[in-house]
C-alpha cells in the first residue's frame, strides 16, 4: 500500500514537472511570438502611416509639377513598398495569431494541470454562517443593490444630459416636389426642359422706351449665353470670361443683385471657346435650395441661396470645338452633366450624376458619341424616369436612378445643338438641317427601326430646340422659318416666315407661342388655328438666351442686361 | 510561485495578443492604367443542412451534459465536453449561432413583422431553456463556448462577497434589457456586436473588443466566469428557469453530513451554507422592512422608468439611422461643412431627408416607450433583489444555489459522500 502511494506521488510529480515545463516553453514561445506581433502591429499602425503621409505629400508635389518623371517614379516605388509591407504585415499578423493561439492553448493547459495537481484539500475552521453574519450580509446586500441602482440611475441621468437633435425642420426635402418644379423655372426651358410656361397670365407686349411692362432692368456683370432660371423670388444667371466664372443671384422683386458667387478656376489648361459660345453658355439648374452652374472650362460649382459656395470642382476641360454649352439638369437630388466631347471613337463623352449637396459622383456612364451642345431632359414614363440625351450619332435614354442605358436610336448626325422634347409618349429630336424624328419612349436596346413614330424633313432647325404641347410640334430655324407639325403623325400643318434670326428656343404660354429673336424682338403668336401674330415688342438689345417664365412675368437675358417683363406689384 | 509566474506570463501576453488581432484592412490602390478592380464576390452561404447539424450537435451536447452532471457526476467528463463545445461552437462555428445573441432575434421577431426568426436560431434559443427548466444550467456547464473559454482561465479564484456578487449582477439585467430594447426597435444587435470572445474564436476582430475580451479573461483568472455572472443576458434568463428546474445539481449524492469540506469549493460563489433561525427581534424588524420594500417596489418601477426615459434620446443614437439623421441635420443646417461616408452614401440613394428625419423620430418615440419599460424593469429587478435580501430563508444543508450554480461539477469531489458513492460503484464493478 505504501509502495502504491509512493508510486502515485512519483507519477504526480512527473506530471507536475511536465506540465510546468510545457507551460513555460509555451509561455516563452508565446511571449516571443507576441513580441514580434506587437512590433508588427506598431509597424502597421505607426510606421506605415508615416510613410503614407510622405506619399501623400509627394503626390501633392507632383500635382504642382507634373513634368517631374523622377518624382513620379519615386511615388510609384513608395506606393508599391507600402502596399507590399502592409500585405506582409497582415499575413504575419494572421499567421502569428494562430501561432499565439496555439501557444496559449498549451500554456493554459499546463497552467490548468499545475493548478489541478497542486490543489489543496480544504481545512474548514471555526464556526461560519451565524445568524448575525447572515443578517450582516443581507444588510450589505441591500446597500450594495441600492448603490448599484444609484450607479445605473446616475449613468442614465448623465446620458440624459447629452444633447440630442430636434429635427425642427423635418419638412426638409432632398429634392423639390413635382409641384414645386412645375411652379418654377428651375432649368433651361423650365419644367422638364419643355419650354412650356405653367402660367398663362404672362404679358404679351411691352415697351422698353415708354417703360410699359418693364418692371426692372439690371446690368449683367459678365457675359454669358445662358438663360435665366427662377425659383420663387430669386433669379439666377451666370457669366464668365477667361479670368472669372461667376453666378449671379437677383431679387425678383426689384432686380437688385443680391450676391455674386465665384466658381474658382481649377487646372491651368487654357480654354478658348468660340465667341458665340463663350465661357458661360450652359444654363444653370436649381433644386430650390441650391443652384448649380457649369462653365466651358469644365468647372462646376454649387451655391446655396445665400451665396455660400458649398462645393466646386473641375470635370476636365471639355474637348469641344465650339465650347461647352450643354445645360445642367436635375433628377431628384442628382445634378446631371452631359459632358459630350471629342469624337465618338475617343470615348471621352460622359453623362455624370453628381449628388447635389456634396457634389459626389453617384454614377457616371461613358457615351460613345461626339461632342454635342444639347441639354439632357428627364421624362417620366410608365417604365420609370428616363434621361434623354442627344448627340452624334444617337439619341440615348438612360435610367435616371443609376445611369443604365435603356434604349438608343441611331437617328442623329454631326453638330447637334437642339435638345429633345417629350409629349404624349413621344420623344422629338432634331438632326440639324436634316430631319425631325419622333420616337416612342417605351423601348429597350436599339430602337432605331422598331420604335420610330414618324420623321419630317422640312424647316429643320440647327440651334433652336423644338416645342410641343402634345398636339403640335413647332420647329424654328435660325433664319426664322417656323414650321408646325401634327405631333401624332408628323404631318406638316403650316409654316411661317418670321423674317427674324433666332437663337433662343420657342416657348408655349397657353395656346400662344413666344419667340425671341436675336435682335431682341419678342413675337407672340396664336397658333390654335394656324399662325396669327398677336404682338411684337422690341427689347432694344441682342438676345441669345431663351426667356424664363413665372407667375405674370417673363425674364429675358439680353446681351448686357437682365429684364423682368410684367406688371409691377399691385398694378 | 510557478503558478504565479504562469499567471504573470498570461498577463504579459494580453496586450500583444490584442495587437495581433487588431490589424486593419487598407484601401485599394488608385489605378491609373485603366485596370478595373474586379467586382467583389459574395461567398456562397453555408449549406442549410449544416445549420441543422449544429442544432443536432447542440441537442446532443445538452443531453450528454445532462447525463454527466446529474447521473455520472464527473467533473472530468464535464470538462471534456466543455472543451469539445469550445472547439465546435467556438472555434469551428466561430461563435455563431449562439443562444445569447438569439435573444435579440426573438425580440426582433416579436416587434418587427417583416422579420422572421430562422428555425435553427429558434432552436438555439429554446433548447437551453428547456434543458435548464428540467435539469438546471447544464448549458452553462459544458455547452456554452463563452462560458468554456472563461472556465479555462479559472486558475486562482477568489471568493467575492455575496452582496457584491448580487449587486454586480444588476448589470446583466441591464444588458439584457438594453439588448432586447435595441433589437426590438431594430436599432442594433448589441449583444453580438459587443461579444467579447468572438474575436478569439474568429482570430480577428476590433482592437477594442479583443482588449475587452482579454480583460475579462484576465479578471477571470481570479473571479470565475465574470461575463457569465455579471454581464451575460442569457444567464439572467437561465437563472430564472434554473430556480424552478425539475432536477438539479446536488453537492452530495445523498445526505449532507455537514462536513463543510465543500464550503469553498465553488469558484463562482454558488454554494449556500445552512441558514440559522431568526431571532424574535430580527424577525419583527425584518417583517417591517419587507413591508416597506414591497411598497417601495412600485416606486422603484416608476422612478426607474422615469430615469431611463430621460436617457432615451441617447439610447436612440445607438441606431445608425438616428445617427445618420443627426449628421444630415448638421449638414443641412450648415453646422458642418463636409459629409461623412454614411451621409454621402445616403444622399447618393436620393432618399428623402424628411423621411429619414421621420424614421429617426419614430425610432426615438419607440425608444422613449421602450426606455420606460426598461427603466421599470430595472426598478423591479432592484426592488426584488432588495426583497430577496430581506426574506427569511431556511436551509439545513450545504446546497448549490439553484440560480447561480453553473453545474460545472467542481464541488462533487469535495464531498465525502460522493467518494463513498464512487467507491461503492468501483467495488460493485470489481465484484462483477
Structure letter (DSSP) for residue A193: G
In a domain, B287, yes or no: yes
**Can you give the pLDDT at residue A191?**
96
d(CA B5, CA B7): 5
The reply to whether B247 and B329 lie within a common domain is no
CA A147 to chain B, closest CA, distance in angstroms equals 8
Q: At what angle do helices B233-243 and B119-135 cross, to 10 degrees?
A: 40
Q: Which of B22, B29, B276 sits opposite A130 (nearest CB)?
A: B276
Which of the four pLDDT bands, split at 50, 70 and 90, describes residue B337? Answer: confident
> Is 0.90 surpassed by the pTM of this model?
no
Q: What is the mean pLDDT of residues A368-379?
A: 95
d(CA A338, CA A340): 6
Contact B356, B324 (CB under 8 A): yes
d(CA B180, CA B230): 17
Q: Which domain holds residue B336?
A: 280-388
Q: What is the mean pLDDT of residues A433-443?
A: 96
CA B303 to chain A, closest CA, distance in angstroms equals 9
Q: How many domains does chain B have?
A: 2
- pLDDT, one tens digit per residue, over A262-273 is 999 987 778 888
Q: Which of A31, A153, A157 sits opposite B13 (nearest CB)?
A: A31
Q: How many CB pairs under 8 A join A and B?
A: 247
**Can you give the pLDDT at residue A570?**
46
The reply to whether B142 and B61 lie within a common domain is yes
> Among B357, B334, B320, B360, which Cα is nearest to A174's?
B357
- Cα nearest neighbour of A309 on chain B: B337
Partnered with residue A260 across adjacent β-strands are: A248
The reply to whether B171 and B236 lie within a common domain is yes
The reply to whether B302 and B357 lie within a common domain is yes
In a domain, B379, yes or no: yes
In a domain, B126, yes or no: yes
The reply to whether B185 and B95 lie within a common domain is yes
Contact B166 A147 (CB under 8 A): no
- pLDDT, one tens digit per residue, over B113-171 is 899 999 999 999 999 999 999 999 999 999 999 999 999 999 889 989 988 999 999 99
The reply to whether B348 and B247 lie within a common domain is no
In a domain, B177, yes or no: yes
Helices (H), B311-415: 312-316, 320-332, 341-349, 353-388
B388, B405, B423: which is the final residue of a domain?
Answer: B388
In order of A471, A487, A524, A526, B278, the CA distances from A532 in angstroms are: 17, 19, 9, 5, 113
The reply to whether B127 and B163 lie within a common domain is yes
Q: Chain A contacts of B265, Cβ < 8 Å?
A: 122
**Can you give the pLDDT at residue B23?**
47
d(CA B94, CA B110): 27
CA A369 to chain B, closest CA, distance in angstroms equals 20
The reply to whether B211 and B76 lie within a common domain is yes
Contact A167 B360 (CB under 8 A): yes
In a domain, B428, yes or no: no
In a domain, B44, yes or no: no
Least confident of A375-379, A463-467, A546-550, B92-96: B92-96
- pLDDT, one tens digit per residue, over B218-275 is 999 999 999 999 999 999 999 999 999 999 899 999 888 888 888 888 999 999 888 7
d(CA A136, CA B412): 29
Please identify which residue in the block is written with the cell numbers 414591497.
Answer: B294
- Cα nearest neighbour of B173 on chain A: A152
Contact B20 A169 (CB under 8 A): no
In a domain, B169, yes or no: yes
Q: How far is CA A84 from the centre of its chain?
A: 35
Half-sphere exposure of A529 (CA within 13 A, CB side): 0
**Can you give the pLDDT at residue B211?**
85
The reply to whether B119 and B243 lie within a common domain is yes
- pLDDT, one tens digit per residue, over A287-335 is 999 999 999 999 999 999 999 999 999 999 999 888 999 999 999 999 9
CA A420 to chain B, closest CA, distance in angstroms equals 25
The reply to whether B335 and B234 lie within a common domain is no
In a domain, B4, yes or no: no
Which of the four pLDDT bands, split at 50, 70 and 90, describes residue A167? Answer: confident
The reply to whether B292 and B143 lie within a common domain is no
Which of the four pLDDT bands, split at 50, 70 and 90, describes residue B30? Answer: low
In order of A371, B276, B278, B294, the CA distances from B284 in angstroms are: 98, 16, 10, 16
**What are the grid coordinates assigned to A135, written together?**
443578517
**What are the grid coordinates assigned to B253, written together?**
449524492
Name the average pLDDT for chain B. Answer: 88
3-state secondary structure of B117: coil
**What are the grid coordinates assigned to A344, written together?**
465618338
Q: Which of B20, B156, B351 sits opposite A37 (nearest CB)?
A: B20
The reply to whether B331 and B209 lie within a common domain is no
Of chain A, the end-to-end C-alpha distance in Å amounts to: 125
Contact A111 B331 (CB under 8 A): no
Q: Chain B contacts of A137, Cβ < 8 Å?
A: 161-163
Contact B339 A358 (CB under 8 A): yes
Q: For an interface test with B, which of A141, A154, A307 has the most B Cβ atoms less than 10 Å from its Cβ?
A: A141
**Can you give the pLDDT at residue B2?**
52
- Cα nearest neighbour of A123 on chain B: B261
Partnered with residue A33 across adjacent β-strands are: none
Amino acid at each position: 500500500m505504501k509502495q502504491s502511494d509512493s508510486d502515485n506521488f512519483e507519477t504526480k510529480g512527473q506530471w507536475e514537472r511536465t506540465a510546468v515545463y510545457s507551460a513555460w516553453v509555451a509561455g516563452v514561445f508565446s511571449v516571443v511570438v507576441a513580441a514580434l506581433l506587437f512590433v508588427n502591429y506598431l509597424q502597421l499602425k505607426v510606421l506605415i502611416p508615416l510613410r503614407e503621409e510622405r506619399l501623400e505629400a509627394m503626390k501633392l508635389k507632383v500635382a504642382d509639377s507634373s513634368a517631374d518623371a523622377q518624382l513620379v517614379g519615386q511615388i510609384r516605388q513608395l506606393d508599391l513598398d507600402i502596399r507590399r509591407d502592409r500585405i506582409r504585415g497582415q499575413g504575419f499578423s494572421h499567421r502569428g495569431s494562430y501561432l499565439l493561439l496555439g501557444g496559449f492553448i498549451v500554456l493554459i493547459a499546463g497552467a490548468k494541470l499545475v493548478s489541478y495537481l497542486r490543489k489543496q484539500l480544504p481545512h474548514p475552521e471555526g464556526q461560519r454562517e451565524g445568524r448575525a453574519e447572515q443578517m450582516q450580509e443581507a444588510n450589505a446586500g441591500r446597500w450594495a443593490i441600492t448603490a448599484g441602482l444609484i450607479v445605473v440611475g446616475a449613468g442614465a441621468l448623465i446620458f440624459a444630459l447629452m444633447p440630442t437633435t430636434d429635427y425642427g425642420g423635418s419638412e426638409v426635402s432632398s429634392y423639390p416636389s413635382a409641384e414645386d418644379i412645375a411652379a418654377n423655372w428651375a432649368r433651361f426651358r423650365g419644367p422638364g426642359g419643355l419650354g412650356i410656361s405653367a402660367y398663362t397670365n404672362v404679358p404679351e407686349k411691352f415697351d422698353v422706351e415708354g417703360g410699359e411692362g418693364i418692371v426692372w432692368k439690371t446690368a449683367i456683370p459678365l457675359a454669358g449665353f445662358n438663360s435665366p432660371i427662377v425659383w420663387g423670388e430669386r433669379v439666377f444667371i451666370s457669366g464668365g470670361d477667361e479670368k472669372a466664372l461667376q453666378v449671379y443671384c437677383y431679387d425678383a422683386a426689384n432686380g437688385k443683385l443680391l450676391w455674386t458667387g465665384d466658381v474658382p478656376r481649377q487646372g491651368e489648361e487654357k480654354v478658348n471657346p468660340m465667341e458665340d459660345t463663350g465661357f458661360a453658355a450652359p444654363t444653370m439648374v436649381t433644386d430650390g435650395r441650391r443652384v448649380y452652374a457649369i462653365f466651358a472650362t469644365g468647372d462646376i460649382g454649387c451655391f446655396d441661396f445665400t451665396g455660400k459656395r458649398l462645393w466646386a470642382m473641375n470635370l476636365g476641360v471639355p474637348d469641344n470645338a465650339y465650347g461647352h454649352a450643354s445645360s445642367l439638369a436635375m433628377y431628384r437630388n442628382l445634378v446631371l452633366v452631359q459632358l459630350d466631347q471629342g469624337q465618338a471613337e475617343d470615348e471621352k463623352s460622359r453623362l455624370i450624376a453628381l449628388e447635389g449637396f456634396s457634389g459626389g459622383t453617384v454614377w457616371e456612364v461613358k457615351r460613345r458619341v461626339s461632342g454635342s451642345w444639347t441639354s439632357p431632359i428627364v421624362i417620366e414614363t410608365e417604365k420609370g424616369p428616363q434621361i434623354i440625351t442627344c448627340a452624334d450619332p444617337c439619341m440615348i435614354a438612360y435610367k435616371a436612378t443609376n445611369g443604365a442605358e435603356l434604349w438608343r436610336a441611331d437617328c442623329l448626325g454631326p453638330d447637334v445643338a437642339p435638345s429633345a422634347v417629350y409629349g404624349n409618349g413621344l420623344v422629338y429630336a432634331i438632326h440639324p438641317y436634316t430631319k425631325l424624328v419622333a420616337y416612342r419612349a417605351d423601348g429597350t436596346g436599339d430602337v432605331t427601326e422598331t420604335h420610330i413614330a414618324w420623321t419630317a424633313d422640312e424647316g429643320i432647325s440647327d440651334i433652336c430646340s423644338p416645342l410641343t404641347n402634345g398636339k403640335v410640334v413647332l420647329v424654328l430655324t435660325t433664319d426664322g422659318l417656323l414650321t408646325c407639325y401634327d405631333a401624332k403623325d408628323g404631318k406638316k400643318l403650316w409654316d411661317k416666315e418670321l423674317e427674324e434670326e433666332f437663337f433662343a428656343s420657342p416657348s408655349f404660354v397657353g395656346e400662344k407661342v413666344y419667340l425671341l429673336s436675336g435682335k431682341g424682338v419678342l413675337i407672340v403668336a396664336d397658333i390654335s388655328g394656324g399662325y396669327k401674330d398677336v404682338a411684337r415688342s422690341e427689347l432694344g438689345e441682342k438676345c441669345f438666351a431663351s426667356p424664363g417664365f413665372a407667375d405674370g412675368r417673363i425674364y429675358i437675358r439680353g446681351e448686357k442686361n437682365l429684364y423682368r417683363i410684367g406688371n409691377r406689384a399691385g398694378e | 510561485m510557478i503558478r504565479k509566474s504562469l499567471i504573470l506570463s498570461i498577463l504579459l501576453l494580453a496586450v500583444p495578443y490584442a495587437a495581433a488581432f487588431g490589424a486593419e484592412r487598407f484601401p485599394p490602390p488608385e489605378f491609373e492604367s485603366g485596370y478595373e478592380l474586379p467586382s467583389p464576390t459574395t461567398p456562397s452561404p453555408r449549406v442549410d443542412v449544416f445549420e441543422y447539424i449544429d442544432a443536432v450537435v447542440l441537442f446532443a451536447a445538452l443531453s450528454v451534459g445532462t447525463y454527466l452532471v446529474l447521473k455520472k457526476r464527473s467533473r472530468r467528463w464535464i470538462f471534456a465536453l466543455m472543451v469539445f463545445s469550445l472547439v465546435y461552437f467556438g472555434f469551428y462555428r466561430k461563435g455563431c449561432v449562439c443562444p445569447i445573441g438569439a435573444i435579440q432575434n426573438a425580440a426582433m421577431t416579436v416587434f418587427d413583422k417583416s422579420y422572421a426568426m430562422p428555425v435553427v436560431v429558434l432552436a438555439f434559443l429554446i433548447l437551453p431553456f428547456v434543458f435548464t427548466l428540467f435539469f438546471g444550467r447544464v448549458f452553462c456547464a459544458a455547452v456554452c463556448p463563452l462560458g468554456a473559454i472563461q472556465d479555462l482561465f479559472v486558475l486562482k479564484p477568489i471568493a467575492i462577497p455575496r452582496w457584491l456578487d448580487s449587486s454586480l449582477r444588476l448589470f446583466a439585467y441591464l444588458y439584457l434589457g438594453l439588448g432586447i430594447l435595441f433589437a426590438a426597435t431594430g436599432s442594433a444587435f448589441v449583444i453580438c456586436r459587443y461579444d467579447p470572445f468572438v474575436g478569439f474564436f474568429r482570430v480577428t476582430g476590433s482592437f477594442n473588443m479583443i482588449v475587452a475580451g482579454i480583460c475579462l479573461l484576465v479578471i477571470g483568472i481570479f473571479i470565475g466566469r465574470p461575463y457569465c455572472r455579471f454581464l451575460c443576458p442569457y444567464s439572467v434568463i437561465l437563472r430564472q428557469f434554473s430556480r424552478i428546474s425539475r432536477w438539479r445539481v446536488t453537492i452530495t449524492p445523498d445526505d449532507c453530513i455537514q462536513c463543510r469540506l465543500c464550503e469553498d469549493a465553488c469558484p463562482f460563489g454558488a454554494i449556500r451554507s445552512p441558514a440559522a433561525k431568526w431571532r424574535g427581534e430580527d424577525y419583527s424588524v425584518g417583517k417591517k422592512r419587507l413591508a416597506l420594500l414591497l411598497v417601495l417596489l412600485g416606486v422603484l418601477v416608476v422612478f426607474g422608468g422615469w430615469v431611463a426615459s430621460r436617457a432615451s434620446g441617447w439610447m436612440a443614437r445607438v441606431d445608425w439611422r438616428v445617427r445618420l439623421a443627426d449628421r444630415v441635420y448638421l449638414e443641412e443646417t450648415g453646422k458642418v461643412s463636409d459629409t461623412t461616408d454614411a451621409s454621402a452614401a445616403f444622399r447618393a440613394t436620393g432618399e428623402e431627408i424628411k423621411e429619414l428625419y421621420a424614421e429617426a423620430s419614430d425610432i426615438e418615440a419607440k425608444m422613449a416607450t421602450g426606455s420606460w419599460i426598461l427603466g421599470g424593469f430595472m426598478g423591479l429587478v432592484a426592488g426584488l433583489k432588495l426583497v430577496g435580501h430581506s426574506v427569511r430563508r431556511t436551509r439545513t444543508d450545504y446546497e448549490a444555489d439553484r440560480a447561480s450554480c453553473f453545474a460545472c461539477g467542481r464541488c462533487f469531489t469535495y464531498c465525502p459522500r460522493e467518494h463513498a458513492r464512487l467507491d461503492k460503484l468501483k467495488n460493485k464493478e470489481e465484484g462483477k
